[in-house]
Homo-oligomer: A and B are copies of this chain.
Amino acid sequence: MSSLRDRKRVRTRQALVAAATTLFERDGYDETTVADIAAAAEIGTRTFFSYFPTKEEVLFPESDARVRAAVEAIADRKPGERPADVLLRALQRVGDDSDDLGGRLAALRLRFIREIPAVRGRALQIQTEAQREIARHLAAAFPDQLDEVGAAALTGAFVGAVTAALQVLLGDLERLDDPVAVQAAVRKATDVALRPWVS
């Protein structure tokens, strides 16, 4: 049961994300201090760190939602599908999921991943962890065809290909805040990167 305590906690968390989004949009990442964000959400500076362990983290709330989507896709496999097919479907579902919350946060995230090393680093870490988690589930789903290492290699190849392609495609975009263009880039990246396996 979600007690009052829990609901309040969720509300405060969302308030922090909202406040951070607005401030980041207006002033930029480095120019916005944690104290600013906390004040805008009407909590003490110290308390911010009981909701998010670092300043970057506020840009990645719900980073596990995508993983859950992929894991679901693996669970939904039909008999006879091969590992690569399942993985392909899982990653496509993750891509579709990327029209994130409202989009403002997502746009900021893309921008700061370009601009701020600390944010880029965190994003890469999250991706790496997600990738490992997916590989684990994939290995579990095909115990006779994949060991842990093989599953990791396969997943790494797919994710690496899509990510690298996407990076080039997004690099040419000047406006990251146009969801249509971003979505198109994501789709094209998966298409190009995974074409060799679809055949």
Contact = CB atoms under 8 A, between A and B. Distances in A.
Contacts of A149: 165, 168-169, 188-189, 192
A152 B165 contact: yes
A164 B169 contact: no
A59 interface: no
A161 B118 CA distance: 25
A161 to B, nearest CB: 4
Contacts of A162: 153, 156
B132 A125 contact: no
Contacts of A33: none
Contact of A118 (B121, B152, B158): B121
Chain copies in the assembled complex: 2
Given A157-B158, A157-B160, A160-B161, A152 B125 contact: no
A21 interface: no
Interface string A163-189: 111011100000000000000000011
B135 A125 contact: no
A168 B152 contact: yes
Contacts of A159: 160
A89 interface: no
Contacts of A164: 131-132, 135, 152-153, 155-157, 160
A63 interface: no
Nearest to A139: B168
B125 A120 contact: yes
22 contacts: A120-B125, A121-B121, A121-B122, A121-B125, A124-B125, A128-B167, A132-B164, A132-B167, A149-B165, A149-B188, A150-B192, A152-B165, A152-B168, A153-B161, A153-B162, A157-B157, A157-B158, A157-B160, A157-B164, A158-B160, A159-B160, A160-B161
